[in-house]
Amino acid sequence: RWLFNQAVCTLYAFCGVLFGLCSLTSLTVLSTVCCLKVCYPAYGRCWDMLSDLYLTLCSVNITLVFSYGPDLGQPIPTPLAEWGSYGPEPYGTACCITWKASSREATLYILALFIFCYLLPCLLILISYSLIFWTVRVSRRAVRQH
């Protein structure tokens, strides 16, 4: 069973959602940048120039704010706007989002979380790596013909 009070449960679930979203965001950004560098080399050179400028002008704190700041938009509304709630998981050993929607707002929050924070990033990752695979395959055929 969950050994702590509701405040710790809420904090635990908030951190779990936030860090999970940050992880998926990192993978999405990585796949997109790789796709741009491999499939669109002209844009890849722009990314090199921008990344050099970015690294010289920005500190790690600013990088974290720009990379993970948008992810804060999903877990924060749950307890503040009461779109949904955090509570113990079905087995009761940890806390997460209460997936059984008790209201229309909770259903909309879960649907928005699924679409914008899971489905779209996964689709973008899938498209990025598919484009990379296709570009490498076409390049290999071109090299074989020469």
DSSP assignments along 96-108, one per residue: EE--S--SHHHHH
Question: Which residue(s) pair with 86 in the sheet?
Answer: 97
**Domain boundaries defined on the chain:** 6-145
- Rg over alpha carbons for the chain, rounded to the nearest Å, is 20
Which element (helix H / strand E) includes 121? helix 120-145
Q: Phi and psi at residue 98, in whole multiples of 5°?
A: -75, 105
Q: What does the pLDDT read at residue 59?
A: 42
> Digits of tens for pLDDT over the chain (146 positions)?
778 888 888 888 888 888 888 888 888 888 888 888 888 877 655 555 555 555 444 444 455 555 565 555 555 666 656 677 788 888 888 888 888 777 787 788 888 888 888 899 999 999 999 999 999 999 999 888 88
pLDDT for res 136 = 93
pLDDT score of 61:
47
